[in-house]
Amino acid sequence: MARPSRKNEILQAALACFTEFGVDATTIEMIRDRSGASIGSLYHHFGNKERIIAALYLAGTGEYAELLEQGFSTANSAEACVKLLVTSYIDWVAANPDWARFILHSRGRVEASERGDELREANRLHFQRIFEALSGYREQGLFKVMPADCFASVIIGPTHDFARNWLAGRTQTELADCRQLLAQVAWESVRANP
């Protein structure tokens, strides 16, 4: 197995520090100590803490987008694509709860940072890819008519809300145990009435 890159080691150390101490209380020195990287290496890869925050955020959302893209390559129906949006999200959050918590609480900070435009562009491309994957099914009339900018929220909204509560420890049910239920709810919310 390949050794993780120094950049990835720094990001994972930052995530561990953010989880343990909070984003604001974490210092560059704490990240350096946890990662074992030299201060030169840390500054070479990122420059400052805000850039580490943005890089960690973009890496996490990029992982989810990759998981979704892999799923789209095998999903062969409108129902499979809609359910994939939910199950991929649940799978990623359940496998990466600390990272998911960080992402949920850091979006505004990243949007306001020097990498905000990069985040907006990544989100635009992500949603464009989703709409491309579903456009043929939409043209066939397999989905309820609704504004395009509402469509993704209708699909992922309940899952996102439950995941937030699960990440905060406010649920008795495990997120993964709701995987099929939430996927079915999403499908029933957007499919055209027979």
Pair 156, 85: CB distance under 8 Å:
yes
pTM of the predicted protein model: 0.91
Tens-digit pLDDT profile for residues 60-71: 999 999 999 999
How wide is the angle at C-alpha 89 spanned by C-alphas 85 and 90, nearest 5°?
A: 120
Tens-digit pLDDT profile for residues 11-59: 999 999 999 999 999 999 999 999 999 888 888 899 899 999 999 999 9
Tens-digit pLDDT profile for residues 136-152: 999 999 999 999 889 98
Tokens at 100, concatenated:
């998911």
Handedness of CA 24, 172, 150, 60 (dihedral sign): positive
Q: Which backbone phi and psi does 114 adopt, to 5 degrees? A: -65, -15
Cα 132 from Cα 112, distance rounded (Å): 28
Tens-digit pLDDT profile for residues 93-117: 999 999 999 999 999 999 999 999 9
Q: Token pair 């009435």 is at which residue?
A: 193
Residue 181 has pLDDT above 70, yes or no: yes
Tokens at 35, concatenated:
């990662």
Residue 1 has pLDDT above 60, yes or no: no
Contacts of 187 (CB under 8 A, 6+ apart): 79, 82, 83
Pick from 2-6, 20-24, 81-85: least confident? 2-6
Residue 119 has pLDDT above 70, yes or no: yes
What's residue 4's pLDDT?
62
Pair 53, 27: CB distance under 8 Å:
no
Q: Token pair 């994957």 is at which residue?
A: 133
Tell me the domains of the chain and their CATH numbers: 1-47 (1.10.10.60), 56-190 (1.10.357.10)
Residue 194 has pLDDT above 90, yes or no: no
What's residue 43's pLDDT?
87
Residue type, 176: A
Average pLDDT taken over every residue of the chain: 94
What's residue 3's pLDDT?
54
